[in-house]
Structure formats: structure tokens, C-alpha cells
Homo-oligomer: A and B are copies of this chain.
């Protein structure tokens, strides 16, 4: 049923009607408009009342203020699903709230509002105002932008890419990515899913739903708005992350979703997954009639880091027999520019038969000697003739070329690209989707013991009771220690004299730091003194420090001093580990290079908890400083397991103590002998 059907060209109601009419013989189409319409192929009504009960789907393209009332009438007809194209029904608007209330009461599921509509090509339903129809196929598209969905529809047909569903979800007032992902996971016609996303309200629900899907089908996402970092002021630097692209990327990783870098990349991924939703392996062989094109493919592989297949001696001998002398005798296989059909086919067959090859990229550079269509035929024949079927990807350079090879390759389900970079990028997405699937996260997480949670909660209770949200350094370290994170033992002393006494508990030499709720970056105000030889020096330094800060920052409340033994480790690294909270994904775990230059160095990786030991090691590997941690020259390798244990412990803290808003350990000192947290800051939620 279409509510708001129109015969006025250029109107949304007319565009949707035109699309629906195209295959209206496959279902019963009821068109509703207060004016009496006559439309061949549709039953016309001036009101919903006259529509007979039964329609499964209603499409609504009418002014926003009329939508709630129409929904009420649809409920009476037993409608279960309404696609609301109309805009102006935001969550804060009155008709928007009314729309949701009616839908909830009537049990109507809403897609939209403010969307392009939905297209279900296998059922012949195009309930959208897209300018074209989409061919039936095995890809599903979920798009938060109608314009991008529409561009994808336009792009797909000439590229021979088909869809199981195109769902433009607009404002996601009721139905979001998570529900639709669950639906698509179960849909047998969908073999891979593409997503265009602008933002999420409930990131956790999305990750959970996506995880279930990516275990069985590849999911590729294009996230728009990467540059717009939520620049809100933050007490600690972790806070600035909130809502940023980096958190989304971590969440996609966690969910097994592959990230496309641009719309072009999403198109390439679509072309690939449409024909090859699943790869048997990732060792790629390249067969080309142009050496330059082969080199460009290798250059592109540097980025995706997919392994180049190594040809067996057997295959090289087979190729020797069919190729002219002077061929490359290795992968990429350059069959030389004067290659004809027979040489293409023989080379492809030899390479496809190699057990060390999982997939083959066949390339064709235009020459005046062999028609591109003939080359395509030879490649398609070879792909069809080998006993064990392997994916073949085609790169036919030049667009004019493409037209003549298109039909042959399309029929053989060989995805086709027009440049080496596109082909390799698309293959990269397929391998990434494969990795996301085969990578099983170990569940060997060491859950925190109850005692740790009780001790952590007690510290937090005391701080809140004191009407504070910032833990003192000593409280913060106590919390870390409860969860098994090694901390440097620290004593609190209210006065310089007590600081001197505190030294009897600790080994010399000493470091002292100011304890003040008002000073965030202690060293900036002379609030840190290192390398004090004995207790007397500590007393003197504490006095001088109190005086200094009173001058430089008179408003600061000074509570006392933290005294700790100097940690001297030769060739130790200063790391950082922490917890931040994202508005849509909740707590995230951070790791990276630490020290006072942390913001400037900006070397970090992010994961969503739970972070088990193995995932923590991956997280370490994603940073630049990981290269230093592996040891070099005469610096031995750092104990990375000890570092990973700290990250896993932070994951436990994040999950067990939800009242924590931000937690920074900086620096976390690490070397071959293990780790120790020198300083920590913990901020509680307001």
C-alpha cells in the first residue's frame, strides 16, 4: 500500500508509485490519495478505509503532521511494517513522538522516517524514490543516507551487481542497524552486507548484533564523518576520544566488520563480494599481459599486505612450456604483450592448478593484437575448466576495454575492475572479511575476583562520600593494585615533616609529587621532584615545592605530598594505558606510548572490553611503539605479556566498576623485567 501516491512528475509520491508499478503484477498495489486517481495496475483509494485488510507493507509519503493519524488507520488494517519516507518527524518533534507512540501501541514496525525507502528485488518490490531499479542479487545494503543508497543503486546495474535488499533507514526512529542486521543474518538470499553509517546511538547493541552476523557473512562498512572529532573539553586526554572515528574503528574491529575507506572502496567491495562472498585462502597469483600493470598490482599489495602466492616448481615448468622465453618465471606471471587467447588460457590453467594458489588476479592491458573480449573468454574458460574451483578476479585496464569483456566475465561470476589498485583493494576487503571470520577470540579471560571488585567499590564509595570525583594518586593506585596491576608503592604525607618520616617505609632514592585536587599536570607547576637521595632531602624538597606552588598557582589547595621510591630501569619504556567512555559505545580501553609528550606523540590503539590477553597483545601490536618493545640493538625485548596483563586488568576494571568515567596510567614503565604503574589518575562519573 502506498499512502501519498501521486501522478505529479517530480514529486516523491510519483517517483515511489512509478517504482512500485514496475512489477505490480507480482503483488496487489493499493494507492491512496485524497484526490481520486486512476492508475493502471493499481487499486486507487481516496482514503485508507476502503483498502481491504491484509497488505503486509505500507509506504508513507505524506506531510509529517498527517503521519500519526495515518498510522492509526493502518493499525486497524493489520499493517505490520511501515516505511516512512516523509521527513520532519525527528524525535524531538511533536508528530515524531506521536508517530512512535502510535506505532508502539499498534505493534507497527517503522523504517525511517526521512529515508529513500526500501528495495527488495527478489520480491519485485521497489518502495523507494530511487531513480533506478536494482537488479536481484545477494548483497544487502543498509544506508543511513538516502543519497548514498541511491548512488549505490545507480552504480550497481551497469556493473552487474545485484541486491537482496536495499534498506534506507533514515532517522532510525525505531528500527536501527542492530535489528536489521539480525534480520539479514537469517536471510538466505543475503550473502554479504554493506553499510553506510553516519553515527550510532547505541553502539553496544550494534556491536553485539554485528558480531553474530560477521561470524557467518562478511559485513563492510563505510563510516562518514571521520574528521569530525568531538572536540569537547575533557579533564584528561582520554576524554577527547568520545564519539571519534577511532572508537568506531575499534568497535568495527571488535564486531568483525571490515572498514571501507571511501565510497569508491565500498563499490569495489560490492563488486568483489557480489561474485566472491567467500575466499578459500589469501595467497594471490597474478597473470598479466603487461609488466607495468603487474608492478602496480604489487605496489597496491604493499598496502593490503596480502601474501603473494609462491609458484611451485611444477607450475613454473608447466608455464615454461606455454610461455615465450624471457617470461618472469615467478609470480606475477607476465605472459608478454603479444599474448593471444591460447597463451592466456594455458597460463591461467597452470596457475589455477597450483596448490599454493588460493585465488588468481587475471589482468589485461589493451593492445591492438588481442580483443579484450577474447582475453576475457580465455580467462573465463580456464576458470571453469579447473577441477577445484578457485576465485578469479579480473582487471581489464581502460573503460572501453571493459565494455567488451563485461558480459563474458559477468556470466562466469568473475568480478571485474578497471585498475590494479581497485582489484587489489577489493581482494583486500575479501581477505579482511575472511580474517574477521576465522579469527576466534580466546575466551581465556581471567575474570576479576570478587575481592578486587569489593575493594575497588569501597575506594569509589569513599571518594564519592567525600563529595569528590577525582581519586587521589594514592586511592588510584590502591584501585589498580586491587586488580593486580603492579604499582610503585607510594606513601601520603600531609606535611614536609611527615614526608621525611614516610621515607622510613621506602627504599632510597625518592621522588615526591604534590597532592592537590586542583593540579592536573603536576610537572607543569614544579609539582614533581625526582632523585632525592635521602629523607632529609625529601623534607627540604617538599618545603620548597609547597612554596613554589603557592607562588605559581596560589588558588591550588595543597593536601600534601606523595612519596615513592625512584624507579630506575635502564632502557625501560614509558607506556600509557587507560579507560575512556564513549557516549555510544560505553567504556573503551586505550594503550599506547606514554610520558609527558603523550598528546604530541599520539601513538595509541583502542579496543572495546572485554579485552582478553590475546586481544591485548594485538592492541600492543597496533601501536608504533610496539616496534621498540620487541627489542633492538642491545635493548632486550620488553615483557609484553606483563603489559598485556595490565590492559586485560583495565578491561576488568572497566566492566566491573562502571562508576569510573576515565582512568589513565601514565607512565606505565615497562622493560624486560615487567611493568610498574608510576602514576595514575581516576575520574568518576558525575
Contacts and interface: CB of A to CB of B under 8 A. Distances in A.
A451 interface: no
A366 interface: yes
Interface of A: 10-12, 14-16, 18-19, 129-132, 144-148, 150-155, 157-159, 196, 198, 222, 224-228, 261-265, 267, 289-293, 295-296, 298-302, 337-338, 340, 365-370, 372, 397-401, 418-422, 521, 523-524, 596-597, 599-602, 624, 627-628, 630, 632-635
A78 B157 CA distance: 56
Contact of A147 (B131, B365, B418, B521): B365
Nearest to A401: B154
Given A147-B293, A148-B365, A337-B147, A158 B633 contact: no
A420 B263 contact: yes
Given A157-B400, A224-B292, A264-B422, 12 more contacts: A145-B291, A146-B292, A148-B292, A150-B290, A150-B398, A222-B296, A224-B295, A227-B301, A262-B296, A263-B419, A524-B634, A602-B627
Nearest to A402: B154
Nearest to A418: B155
Which of A130, A228, A293, A398 gathers the greatest number of chain B CB atoms within 10 Å?
Answer: A398
16 contacts: A16-B368, A145-B292, A147-B290, A147-B293, A148-B290, A151-B401, A154-B366, A154-B398, A158-B400, A261-B421, A262-B300, A262-B419, A596-B632, A596-B634, A597-B628, A601-B624
B10 A370 contact: yes
B147 A291 contact: yes
A596 B366 contact: no
Which of A225, A340, A399, A627 gathers the greatest number of chain B CB atoms within 10 Å?
Answer: A399
Contacts of A337: 146-147
B224 A299 contact: yes
Contacts of A630: 600
Contacts of A298: 225, 227-228
A557 to B, nearest CB: 21
Contacts of A365: 147-148, 150-151
A272 B419 CA distance: 18
Which of A131, A265, A267 gathers the greatest number of chain B CB atoms within 10 Å?
Answer: A131
B401 A12 contact: no
A357 to B, nearest CB: 20
B632 A599 contact: yes
Contacts of A224: 292, 295-296, 299
A295 B196 CA distance: 12
Contact of A290 (B145, B397, B418, B634): B145
B293 A397 contact: no
Contacts of A418: 155
Contacts of A397: 147-148, 150-151, 154-155, 263
Given A226-B299, A227-B302, A419-B264, A369 B292 contact: no
Contacts of A291: 145, 147
Which of A340, A372, A418 gathers the greatest number of chain B CB atoms within 10 Å?
Answer: A418
A152 B262 CA distance: 24
A288 to B, nearest CB: 8
Which of A15, A151, A225, A367 gathers the greatest number of chain B CB atoms within 10 Å?
Answer: A151
Which of A18, A397, A420, A602 gathers the greatest number of chain B CB atoms within 10 Å?
Answer: A397
Nearest to A299: B226
Contacts of A262: 296, 299-300, 419-421
A492 B145 CA distance: 72
A601 B623 CA distance: 11
A132 B228 CA distance: 45
Contacts of A222: 296
Contacts of A419: 262-264, 267
A369 B10 contact: yes
A571 B200 CA distance: 43
Contacts of A300: 262
Contacts of A635: 596-597
Contacts of A340: 10
A369 to B, nearest CB: 5
A632 B597 contact: yes
Contact of A130 (B366, B421, B624): B366
Which of A150, A601, A630, A632 gathers the greatest number of chain B CB atoms within 10 Å?
Answer: A150
Contacts of A10: 340, 369-370
Contacts of A158: 399-400
A596 B399 contact: no
Which of A14, A226, A227, A368 gathers the greatest number of chain B CB atoms within 10 Å?
Answer: A368
A370 B14 CA distance: 12
A523 to B, nearest CB: 6
Nearest to A338: B12
B597 A633 contact: yes
A15 B400 CA distance: 17
Contacts of A225: 295, 298-299
A369 B129 contact: yes
Given A225-B295, A422-B264, A366 B132 contact: yes
Contacts of A265: 421
A163 to B, nearest CB: 14
A224 B421 CA distance: 12
Contact of A633 (B11, B338, B368, B521): B521
A295 B222 CA distance: 12
Given A302-B227, A419-B267, A150 B369 contact: no
Contacts of A228: 298
B367 A150 contact: yes
A686 B11 CA distance: 79
A633 B596 contact: yes
Contacts of A226: 299, 302
A192 to B, nearest CB: 20
Contacts of A296: 148, 222, 224, 262-263
A148 B263 contact: no
Nearest to A371: B131
Given A369-B129, A397-B151, A399-B155, A523 B633 contact: yes
Which of A147, A418, A523, A597 gathers the greatest number of chain B CB atoms within 10 Å?
Answer: A147
9 closest A-B pairs by beta carbon, nearest first, are A154-B398, A147-B290, A145-B292, A15-B368, A147-B365, A151-B397, A262-B421, A227-B302, A129-B368
